[in-house]
Amino acid sequence: MRSFIIFLLTLMMVQGANAAANIINVTIETDKGNISLELYPEQAPITVENFIQNIKAGLYKGGHFYRASRLDNNQARKRKILTLIQGGRNEQVPERPAIAHETTKQTGISHLNGVISMARDEPGTATSEFFICVGDNSGLDFGSTRYPEGQRQGYASFGRVTSGMDVVVNIQQQPTGDKATDDKDWFGHQVINAPVVIKQIIIK
């Protein structure tokens, strides 16, 4: 019995080590500081592979964090306010094809503080745009009642911040709203006046 327990403990340790070994570490270098993340290819293989290929293709070098959503610039929204920063590719670099949508039901990665996820229009349209959560944004998970029936596929999360959350918060607090066309232009109120430059993203 004792040898069987030791075997199970050893197996669990090996499985844990293998999972850890498959984590991919990346660092987003910005003109406000660096953000380090770990990506989970076992849980979100399609989304992680897309992000890695975007990096290798140079899509993010010279891109920007251009959106900061927070309580003070999102007060007119009827749904729970999102708290996040959003960024994407250098628009001078050609876009890569859209990818299949991996839901949080598949991956088990809820949109909590520090989680990185793909921005999109309809499910299956994500390419290079991404966002990082500041606080609990689990309303973006699969099945959330934040959205009407038939529109609850959620967003595709695939990793989390391991260091540099202070940089994320700093970006989120940058002045916004100069691009707003009127009081009802909720997105314009969230556009950062001086977008934060993504110098590059490095795969560790």
Residue 15 lies in a domain: no
HSE-CB at 146 with a 13 A cutoff on CA atoms is 17
Residue 113 lies in a domain: yes
Host domain of residue 136: 24-203
Q: Give mean pLDDT, residues 67-95.
A: 90
- Residue 13: pLDDT band with limits 50, 70, 90: very low
The predicted model scores a pTM of 0.89
- Residue 9: pLDDT band with limits 50, 70, 90: very low
Residue 3 lies in a domain: no
Span 17-72, pLDDT tens digits: 445 569 999 999 999 999 999 999 999 999 999 999 999 999 999 999 999 999 99
pLDDT at residue number 18: 42
Residue 195 lies in a domain: yes
- Measured distance CA(16)–CA(19) in Å, rounded: 5
CATH number of the domain bearing residue 110: 2.40.100.10
What percent of the chain is modeled with pLDDT above 90? 83
Residue 92 lies in a domain: yes
Domain count, the chain: 1
What percent of the chain is modeled with pLDDT above 70? 89
pLDDT at residue number 74: 84
With 50 as the cut, is the pLDDT of residue 8 above it? no
CA distance to 31, 69, 124, per residue, from 59 (Å): 17, 23, 19
CB under 8 Å to 172, separation ≥6 — which residues?
68, 69, 70, 83, 84, 85, 134
